[in-house]
Structure 1
Amino acid sequence: MQGRRLKLCSCNGTLRLDAAALQRALSADASLSVHEQLCRREIGAFQADAGHDCLVACTQEAPLFSELAAAAESQADLRFVNIREHAGWSAEGDQATPKIAALIAAAQLPAPEPVPNVTYKSNGRTLILGPAALALPWAEQLASQLEVAVLITDEARGVELPVDRRYPIWSGKVSSLRGWLGAFELQWQPRNPIDLEVCTRCNACIAACPEQAIDYSYQIDLDKCKGHRACVQACGSIQAIDFERNAAPRTAQFDLVFDLGAAPSITVPYKPQGYFAPGPDPLAQGRAAAQLVYMVGEFDKPKFFQYDAKRCVHSRSKKEGCSNCIEVCSTGAIAPHGDGIRVEPHLCAGCGACTSVCPSGAITYAYPRVAETGARLKRILSVYRAAGGEHAALLFHNAADSRELIARLARQGRGLPARVIPVERWHPASVGIDLLLGAVAYGASQVLLLLTRKEADEYGAALERQLGYAEAILQGLGYTGEHFRILVPDGIAALEHALWTLTPAAAPAEAARFDLGNDKRNTLDFVFDHLARHAPQPAEEIALPAGAPFGRVNVDIGKCTLCLACASACPQSALVDGRDVPALRFIERNCVQCGLCVNTCPEDALSLTPRLVLADYAKKEVTLNQADPFHCVRCGTAFGTKQVVESMLGRLSTHWMFSDERARRRLQMCADCRVIDMMEAEEESSALKQ
């Protein structure tokens, strides 16, 4: 970033900025100047450099600086970084120079590679569903701005339908509602004898009903109705009323859904784009309605993930292995598909939890990619360390409420400790074991994930398991202390207490120099090698908690017949056959503990042991079971094992098809010789008959 102007501001003297130390730490990557009131009295200093690439160390006034750059018709690259709330406004602000340097260095890195867009198209076709007393007034409000249709889900007693027929009104029970902005599909089951689509609202049925079971909702109160059918006669040829109707489910498509039911019809934790379920609160309903009118047109969002079906270990031959991503997805975007999965990008909210729990790296996060995040962490930690910083703790947070909580902590509390470096992420759930351990390999003392209560409820258990696997590995190598923690504060005071009482944990004496890659397993190989090489307590084998994505396959030799169904099912080539020898071999480095082999084995001879082996033999083939080959009694070709053939002879010897010696002997032949022997037997039989 040579030639970039770096504008720092002490915000009216409330930050302590050591320009010389920062210039040294940044190795003259930019022309650095320090101001006191850059957004006010010294605004001319910014305007003078409007034609140059510029990094302004202030995010609060980003709109002002962006507007000035636009007014100057500048085409230069303008960026912003927050050093005030993230560093300077702290009880340890006088010790924040290494962190400020690290934040500035990270902000100067190249922008991540762009990702494909996911496009939504909405024409404003809006479904309003819920009780008639709520749905109809909102339909009247929105009908002039959107193309609305109403599904009444209650009995609508005492509610009058609109005088004008400006939009469709149906009644019934929701059978299913699925989809996303621009592509919702509703299926419902009519439940009332009066079909509101056919009804002309002529009121003849109301006048004819002797029980007054029909009102101006044009729905029959079945509790009052005595079955006189006077209404049917009054309706006549219109045929809107049919007590015997066994109506088929009906379907319709919509772009938007305004769900006014007491409970949402779509129950996943993260609702799809275009779906609003505000519940009974009138204020929430008003806010949702205000958003609806702007949801017409074409909209884009990033495609957050990449998926490689060849690496997926979900299933093989209808036997299920790993389903981690399906279980953790909070939007219902992931479903089984053949031997793998299918991810619907329109439903994906970008949390990245699926990528964190994927053992094989089949699904990876792309916004940004691990390699780009790794480069950012490497730069942050190297500059922080070079500037004299110690015991760095990385605090991953989202770009919304968690970022706001950090800002409020700086304004109202003690701020962030000087060693706690915030790292913004679309969603902290996308921080997997490769980034957790990679950060420690780069020299981080700790990695913290700042979650909201909503995020914690949905992803907390899955993330705790990932943190548990990573912590077990570090503890097994003698790195003492708590390296990973999920923070779910209920306010500023709780966050402040959690951060300021945190004790640094042990990190490698030397920071790693390699780059993290997008291949999860290969990246972890480099990380493990570095952590093991600098371990305070070297170990070749580390026991891991159940469910960890590393480990051994155990074979009960007494049960295993070497049918090799497990080797055929293994997607990672961790289990392989013996090629020319009847054997089952294992490469532990390849095993992701998906369980496909265990679920495939017909003899129930396999089990899993989670562990991490750091010795070289984890990358080599080891023999789990081997048997003597059985040779064809006719030609001598090896075609199976003695155990399998002897077992087959024992099971089939009493069968009538193998009652004679020749038939039993045929079981001891290879496939070719069996055919030859059968043909010879037929020829001999034909010759005897002649």
Structure 2
Amino acid sequence: MPTLICNCNDTMPLDGAALSDASTQPGAAPLKVHRLLCRREVGAFTAALDGTEDVIVACTQERPLFTELAAKTQADGVVTAPVRFVNIRETGGWSRGARKDPRTANAKIAALLAAAALPDPDPVPVVDYRSAGSVLVFGPAARALAWADRLGEAGLQVTVLLGGSNGTGPGTGAVDGATPPATRDYPVHSGRLDKLSGWLGAFEASWETGAGRANPIDLDLCTRCNACIEACPEGAIDFSYQIDLSRCTAHRDCVKACGAAAAIDFDRPAATVSERFDLVFDLNDSPFFGRHAPPQGYLHAGADPLRQERMALAATQLVGEFEKPKFFQYKESLCAHGRNRTTGCSACIDVCSAEAIGSRWQDGKGRIEVAPNLCVGCGACTTVCPTGAISYAYPKPDHQGRRLRTLLSTYRQAGGRDAVLLLHGQEHGDARILALGRDARAGRLDGIAPNVIPVGLFHPASVGLELWLAAIAWGADRVAVMLTGDEAPQYRTALAEQMAVAQAILTGLGYRGEFFTLIDAPDAGSLDRALARLSPNVAAKGAALPPAAFHAAAAKRETLGFALDHLAAHAPLPAETVPLPAGAPLGAVQVDTGRCTLCMACVGSCPSQALRDNSERPVLSFLERNCVQCGLCERTCPEDAITLVPRLLTGDAVRQPVTLHETRPFHCIRCAKPFGTAQMVEAMLGRLAGHPAFAGAAADRLKMCSDCRVVDMIEKDTGAATGATLQ
């Protein structure tokens, strides 16, 4: 794969031979270090296009230029290879550390080039949106009417709703001097928006009209004849055609003046109006949606004129057909959301900032449902999911793992030390890295150190515990996740909790140091200071942990198991068990054998087959490797006999079933066949001892198996009928 690198006018210490040895195929020609690839040496780029293999260009500054040149070359009839771009300049080539330690800087750049050469991830399904441009504009009259005119002139199909929404904004009927248009260019309604759901191209809006909730003047029926204004003695009506109820008395001259138009009705019964829209333009001070990630197509413009301009421009660009990736995959068979009408894990529902995940129950079994049109692709749901039932697909976990493993192995083979993976979201994190790199070039900041390898993700919350631990096993000294402040607050909480679990695992195994760090980077300076505080853990870990050979799997628990096995096998202080924080997705189940009746309700509720029964005898066994600590067994147990114990169990014991409880079976008093347990039958007899339906001989049926119970009931009924006949 042709790779073109450039030292950007001698501003980066690049070693072409070392980069070639580390990042290209064995036997490949040494990489040539260009000085001005985007200017006088651009011919090297066009020459590299003449082939079938992808071309890697280690420059993102001039991406538009190279893309344009490739398109022009193809237009001239030359079949050109696809071009990939990778940043080596702001990601560390311009840092002060690169000048002090060029060998480590070259190792990092080699790793970035090697990762760029990996095959593209598998394509994912897409989610479609179709918008014809119908827009609901709502808010205070002065704002709504002014922007309705402008949006209508831009070609959108406008409907106006004057008033507040969901208890926010100015009250219905507020007079603010706004005058509806003299011509009926678009519908104008008065009311308060009560419900709004959906997404771009599929919004459902409902508002209530009526004297108690809305302006007594129906703006859609109003002919703007102004007779009501002239008739009102209190001056409570102006050209906004909204009645100031604080000034209005009960004479109702305006109703008489309106006459046959019947637009004014103080006793109008409440009615709900529902309509569909493609877009929503919200001009109230407070947004209708309080969630961090509102639906696509919902634009909160508020009171700020500059924001209103930006949102209006965005609205005009949201007409047509659009698509986005379907970011997730869901396997219901792995889901621990609910069993036996009992809710267990709801982590994905709780963390979703778009409120795109809900719960659905059928036949006592709960599952989650994701609205793909609402999903924003953060991946936080996949990070907190303990089972891997919902997994990230953009890219899939095994592809992301291959990328991390390639970065770390290439860096190590090139002589790099103390690798720090800096995971960051591309939308906001790239801007911080570019700014930091430029400030470092100007000498104002240190820049990204040579041992810090930036890894761009669609969202920083899309990678979690299993890949973090796998990265440590593959040779990372630390995993840092950069947050810019643009993320939902629950994402930060979730990442911090996951890091606490990961850190507890390593600490419990004797690895001393801080291996997982959240970095707050609202600006380049904050990022620079945070990176400067990351000291190596080499004294704690050093050569005691050889790099692991496993590859990331598509299944979350499989990758996690590989990482845990490797870390435990090479632990500085081997431990059979490691206590973990509450909420960890690993652990044991303790059973109070004095209370447990072996009813096996817990076995039926367990989604991961960690709890198991025995078809031949009353035994409850447990396989700890399968347990995800969802709590379904604990909540389902009718005797409150189960307690969760978050912990890491190491060695072969985690894969071996253990007996939690067993007891002698109870034998049917009629046929002697074993059924149930003695403890369960005794407990049942004790609870029903005072019940009249189970008094006397009827209590004996509780001591029979199901077959004998039926036979006994038939015999008793037959005997009673025979006796009655003889009499």
Q: What TM-score range do you get, normalising by the shorter chain?
A: over 0.9
Instruction: Please state if 1:368 is matched with 2:395.
Output: yes
Q: 2:699 aligns with which of 649, 664, 669?
A: 664
Q: For 1:16-415, what aligned pairs fall within 5 Å after superposition?
A: 16-28=13-25, 31=29, 32-52=31-51, 53-73=54-74, 74-93=79-98, 94-95=102-103, 96-144=105-153, 145-153=155-163, 154=170, 155-157=173-175, 158-190=177-209, 191-338=214-361, 339-412=366-439, 413-415=445-447
Q: Tell me the alpha carbon deviations over residues 324-383 of structure 1, each in whole angstroms, 9 at most, x when there is no partner.
A: 111110011111122111111111111111100000000001111110011111111111
Distance (whole Å) between structure 1 residues aligned to residue 34 and residue 476 of structure 2? 32
1:216-615 matches, cutoff 5 A: 216-338=239-361, 339-412=366-439, 413-455=445-487, 457-505=489-537, 506=541, 509-615=545-651
For residues 259-298 of structure 1, the C-alpha deviation after alignment (integer angstroms, 9 at most, x for no partner) is: 1100000111012211111321101111111111111000
CA deviation digits over 1:541-599, x for unaligned, max 9? 11000100011111122222222211111111111223221232211111111111111
Q: Matches of 1:415 and 1:257 in 2, distance apart?
A: 42
> One-letter code of the match for 1:25?
A
Determine if contact 2:349/2:358 at 8 Å carries over to the other structure.
yes
What is the CA distance between 1:60 and its match in structure 2?
0.4
Answer whether contact 1:133 1:156 (CA < 8 A) is retained: no
| Amino acid in structure 2 at the alignment position of 1:60 | Q
- 2:56 corresponds to which letter in structure 1? L
- Letter aligned with residue 427 of structure 2: A
Task: Give, in angstroms, the shift of residue 156 of structure 1.
Answer: 4.0
Q: Contact 1:8–1:33 at 8 Å: present in 2 too?
A: yes
Post-superposition CA distance 1:281-324 (Å, at most 9, x none):
10111111111111100011111111111111111232111111
DSSP 3-state at the match of 2:426: coil
- Structure 2 segments unaligned to the other structure (5+ residues): 164-169, 440-444
* TM-score (norm: length of structure 2): 0.92
Equivalent-residue separation in structure 1 for 2:386 and 2:332 (angstroms): 13
Contact 2:124 2:394 in 1 (8 A): yes
Checking the alignment, whether the CA contact within 8 Å between 1:325 and 1:355 is kept in structure 2 is yes
Instruction: Give the Cα separation in 2 of the matches to 1:686 and 1:225.
Output: 83
Change (3 A) 1:658 1:336: closer
Cα distance in structure 2, aligned partners of 1:122 and 1:575: 50
Cα distance change on mapping 1:651 and 1:273 into 2, 3 Å: closer
The Cα shift of 1:78 comes to 1.1
Superposition RMSD on alpha carbons, in Å?
Answer: 1.5
Amino acid at match of 1:146: L
CA shift at 1:241, angstroms?
Answer: 2.0
User: Pairwise mapping of residues 599-638 of structure 1 onto structure 2 (< 5 A)?
Assistant: 599-638=635-674
- Equivalent-residue separation in structure 1 for 2:10 and 2:686 (angstroms): 91
SS in 2 for 1:379: helix
Cα displacement (A) at 1:454: 2.5
Partner residue of 2:12 out of 12, 15, 20: 15
709, 716, 722: which one aligns with 1:674:
709
Q: CA deviation at 1:201?
A: 2.1
How far 1:483 moved relative to its partner? 0.5
1:652, 1:421 → 2: CA distance? 68
Contact map agreement 1:540 1:615 (CA 8 A) in 2:
yes
After TM superposition, the structure 1 stretch with the greater mean CA deviation from structure 2, 680-689 or 636-645, is 680-689
| Superposition deviation, residue 235 in structure 1 | 2.3
CA-to-aligned-CA distance 1:664-689 (integer Å, 9 cap, x gap): 22221111111211222222223323
For 2:32, what is the secondary structure of its paired residue?
A: strand
2:442 is matched with none
Which letter does structure 2 place at the counterpart of 1:469? Answer: V
User: What SS is found at the alignment partner of 2:96?
Assistant: coil
Shift of 1:456: 6.1
Report the CA distance between 1:185 and its aligned residue.
1.1
Q: Quick one: distance in 1 between partners of 2:533 and 2:3?
A: 34
**Alpha carbons of structure 1 residues 670 and 399: separation in structure 2 relative to 1, 3 Å:** same
- 2: CA distance, partners of 1:657 / 1:509: 68
C-alpha change, 1:435 and 1:243, in structure 2 (3 Å) is same
Residue 85 of structure 1 aligns with an amino acid whose one-letter code is E
Whole-angstrom distance in 2 between the partners of 1:6 and 1:683:
92
Equivalent pairs, count? 686
Which stretch shifts more, 386-395 or 145-154? 145-154
Secondary structure of 1:70's counterpart equals helix
Q: Cα deviation per residue 1:393-444 (whole Å; 9 max; x = unaligned)?
A: 0001111221111111111121111100011100010111011001111100
What secondary structure sits across from 1:667 in the alignment?
helix
Deviations 1:22-64 (A, max 9, x none): 1221354655222111111112222222213321111101111
Measure the CA separation in 1 of the matches of 2:49 and 2:712.
91
Distance in 2 separating the partners of 1:470 and 1:67: 46
CA contact (8 A) 1:54 1:76 kept: yes
Kept after mapping to 2: 8 A contact 1:121/1:298 = yes
Q: Percent identity?
A: 52
2:139 & 2:689 partners in 1: Cα distance?
70
Using the alignment, how far apart are the partners of 1:658 and 1:452 within structure 2? 67
In structure 1, what residue type is equivalent to 2:452?
V
Amino acid at match of 1:234: A
Could you say what secondary structure the match of 1:623 adopts?
strand
Conserved 8 A contact 2:424-2:481: yes
Q: Return the alpha-carbon distance in structure 1 between the equivalents of residues 144 and 374 of structure 2.
A: 26
Cα pair 1:19 1:34 within 8 Å, conserved: yes
Alpha-carbon distance in structure 2 between the residues aligned to 1:331 and 1:66? 35
2:685 aligned counterpart, secondary structure: helix
How far 1:12 moved relative to its partner? 0.7
**Residues 430-487 of structure 1 deviation map (CA, whole Å, 9 limit, x = unaligned):** 1110110011111000011111113163411110000111111111111111011011
Q: How far did 1:638 drift? A: 1.1
The structure 1 segments of at least 4 consecutive aligned residues displaced by more than 4 Å after TM superposition are none
Distance, in Å, in 1 between the alignment partners of 2:189 and 2:291 is 25
- Output the CA distance in 2 between the equivalents of 1:107 and 1:164: 59
CA distance in 1, matches of 2:293, 2:23: 41
Asked if the contact 1:541–1:615 (Cα under 8 Å) also holds between the matched residues in 2, the reply is: no
**Offset at residue 644 of structure 1 (A):** 2.0
**Residue 688 of structure 2: aligned partner:** 652
